[in-house]
Amino acid sequence: MSLFLMLALSLMPTRPAGMFADNERARLVVYWNSPERYKVSLPSDARQKGAWQVRLTPEGSLWLWKYQNALGVGKVAPTTDFTKVAPQAAEWKQWLDKKIDSDYWKAQTAAESANLALLAPPSPATPDSATAIPVAAKPIPPDPGPIPPALLTLVGNPPSFANIVTPLQHTITFDDGETLAYKDNIKVGNPRYAYYRFPQGVVSYGASLKTMLDTELNPIFEGAGFAANELKIAKAVSILEGGFDSINTYDTGFVSVGFIQCITAADGRGSLTQVLQKEKADRPADFDKDFRQYGLDVTPDGTLTVIDPGTGAELAGKDAVMKVVEDKRLTAVFQHAGRRSLAFRIAQVQIARSVYWPANDPVNIMLNGKAFKCRVCDVVKSEAGMATLFDRKVNRGNIKPFEDLLTKIMAKYRLDSLSKVVAYEKELIQGLQYRTDFLADATLSQPFDPLMPMEKENPPAESDAQDSR
């Protein structure tokens, strides 16, 4: 070999060593591209609903998120219309409501026209209800007029909040016979939903833990350190999230998986990759069977890594996350494991306990110059109360404003000890309610309901009593 050629070869960039060898990448491309592995089609309900349908736009949802934050509302439950909790912006709300109604009406009109062009109406001689095309029932909404100048300055010019899309169905079949199907362009129920980001994303809620037998659930949770009453709490909260096999790739979690929706986050280093690390460390053979054989892995530092089913390229971090969002074959790997793998389920529960369980969270407050310290479980004794906090931590990442409300209750009833707060747990939990009211859940133990004599013994502070008039 000539000196020149040796020098040229030394200067050529080389592919960095990855998690997968070249022969593994080649095998995965062959596997994922076999003829029956992956199919894309119109959904079965396309004739009834139309091939073209109306959806919230990701751009509009992002604008709503910016507006929500600009108002100082913070993160609200996804099912909540945040504009209703911002009375300081009543005038803006009126304009925004008209703008959203107008955009959706225009999109619906466009969808009907597009569908009529695709599907001819049925012949009177051979009526076929399956080819019926939805017709807008709403009258033309009022024009919103120009955007209020102050709102424009605060958030910027909003895009259209609605558009027409063609949802597609993606069907993936594994060698073991498991077939999974997803529909993209998800229809969110709240037109003011501020967390919709990826129209190519999908959702499947899986089997709720409440539908599973205790003989199946108890060994999983007990092995992860959950007591019997804690299992009840996990079941109650999981109904808001999904089952072990649930998956969501359309919102701000990027890729969310499992009974409490562990996420990759944008960089592929979220709680979901902690679940993968846990299974890989504790049960490596199961991990290889559940994930690696399909082209998914996690690096030693906890970064998601995948093989692109189409090209065989190895992707890591944010590129890996977006490939899972875009390619339903990789999406299906997570749900396949959630349905069939005990190891993956156990890892989910273990990480849920270590990351999201609020019982041992430290509590530090100051009242009248005195510091009070405890753990959450020292104040919150009921299952309903712990479920409320677990729900907050799963969905928000923290239990705020727990300490602020605790301080107000101690001041209101002139309590000089945290142990006395237990009698007012119900009031504390009422102020922390988030996505659902666990105080109305008959399957969970409830907080102590304070008696009048106790309230008389510790009357509200004078300033609070005056404010209540």
pLDDT one-digit tens code per residue, 191-205: 999 999 999 999 999
pLDDT for the residue numbered 465? 37
> Pick from 320, 355, 390: which residue ends a domain?
355
Does residue 28 form part of some domain?
Answer: no
Distance, CA of 5 to CA of 419 (rounded, Å): 79
Examine the domain organization and report whether 461 and 383 are in the same domain: yes
Examine the domain organization and report whether 248 and 312 are in the same domain: yes
In the chain, which stretches have pLDDT less than 50? 1, 4-15, 129-133, 452-469
Q: Who contacts 219 (Cβ-Cβ below 8 Å, separation ≥6)? A: none
Examine the domain organization and report whether 198 and 98 are in the same domain: no
CA dihedral 150, 105, 166, 46 (to 10 degrees): 150
Does residue 243 form part of some domain?
Answer: yes
Q: Who contacts 97 (Cβ-Cβ below 8 Å, separation ≥6)? A: 83
Distance, CA of 185 to CA of 169 (rounded, Å): 10
The 10 Å CB-count burial string (b at 16+, else e) for 273-310 is: bbbbbbbbeebeebbebbbbebbbbbbeeebbbbbbbe
pLDDT in tens, 205-259: 988 887 888 898 888 988 888 888 888 898 888 888 779 999 999 999 999 999 9
Examine the domain organization and report whether 368 and 436 are in the same domain: yes
Considering the chain, what percentage of its residues have pLDDT values greater than 90? 69
Q: Who contacts 263 (Cβ-Cβ below 8 Å, separation ≥6)? A: 253, 254, 255, 256, 257, 270, 271, 272
Distance, CA of 386 to CA of 405 (rounded, Å): 15
pLDDT in tens, 348-364: 999 998 989 999 999 99
pLDDT for the residue numbered 21? 97
How many domains does the chain fold into?
Answer: 3
Examine the domain organization and report whether 102 and 197 are in the same domain: no
Task: State the helix-helix crossing angle for 328-340 and 342-356, rounded to 10 degrees.
Answer: 90
Does residue 29 form part of some domain?
Answer: no
* Contact criterion met (CB below 8 Å) for 57 and 163: yes
Domain interval for residue 294: 170-355
Does residue 5 form part of some domain?
Answer: no
Examine the domain organization and report whether 161 and 178 are in the same domain: no
> Pick from 328, 355, 382: which residue ends a domain?
355
Does residue 117 form part of some domain?
Answer: yes
Examine the domain organization and report whether 232 and 349 are in the same domain: yes
Distance, CA of 309 to CA of 296 (rounded, Å): 11
CA dihedral 340, 341, 346, 348 (to 10 degrees): -80
User: Which amino acid would we find at residue 154?
Assistant: L
Report the alpha-carbon angle 97-103-104, nearest 5: 90
Examine the domain organization and report whether 185 and 263 are in the same domain: yes
Examine the domain organization and report whether 180 and 290 are in the same domain: yes
Q: What is the β-pairing status of strands 296-298 and 162-165?
A: unpaired
Examine the domain organization and report whether 190 and 323 are in the same domain: yes
Does residue 1 form part of some domain?
Answer: no
| pTM for the full predicted model | 0.81
Residue 375's φ and ψ, nearest 5 degrees, are -110, 160
Examine the domain organization and report whether 312 and 335 are in the same domain: yes
Distance, CA of 70 to CA of 63 (rounded, Å): 10
Phi-psi category of residue 286: left, alpha or beta, with phi > 0 → left and psi -120 to 50 → alpha: alpha
Does residue 2 form part of some domain?
Answer: no
Examine the domain organization and report whether 207 and 316 are in the same domain: yes
Which residues sit opposite 366 in a β-bridge? 371
Does residue 15 form part of some domain?
Answer: no
pLDDT for the residue numbered 242? 79
Distance, CA of 167 to CA of 185 (rounded, Å): 5
pLDDT for the residue numbered 397? 85
pLDDT for the residue numbered 125? 53
> Pick from 336, 355, 374: which residue ends a domain?
355
